[in-house]
Amino acid sequence: MTPLELAVEVVGWTGALLILLAYLLISAGKLTGQSPLYQWMNIVGAAGFVINGWWHRAIPSTALNVVWMGIGAVALWKIAQRRGSST
C-alpha cells in the first residue's frame, strides 16, 4: 500500500468514525441537531467519505456524501443566522 493509498483509507475511516460518533452523541442526547459541533462532525465525516469514495470510484456513496455535506453546511448557516438575529 502506497502512502497515498494509506492516507485515503485513514481519511475514509476517520470520516466514518466522526459520523458514527455524531450519531451516538445525538442519540444519547449529548448534542442536538442544532449543535454546530454535530453539524461539523457530519460535514468533516462526509468529506472523508467523499475523498475515499471518489478514490475507490464509489460514485453513489460519493454523491450521497456531497449532499450530506451540503445539508450540514445549510444547517450551520441557519444556526449562525438564528444566533446572529438573537443578539
In this prediction, residue 86 carries a pLDDT of 67
In the chain, the number of structural domains is 1
In this prediction, residue 84 carries a pLDDT of 85
Contact 45, 67 (CB under 8 A): no
Q: Which residues contact 12 (CB under 8 A, 6 or more apart)?
A: 48, 49, 51, 52, 53, 55
Identify the domain containing residue 31 by its residue range. 3-85
Report pTM. 0.92
What are 45-70's pLDDT values in tens digits?
A: 999 999 999 999 999 999 999 999 99
Least confident range of 16-20, 49-53, 75-79, 82-86? 82-86
What are 27-47's pLDDT values in tens digits?
A: 999 999 999 999 999 999 999
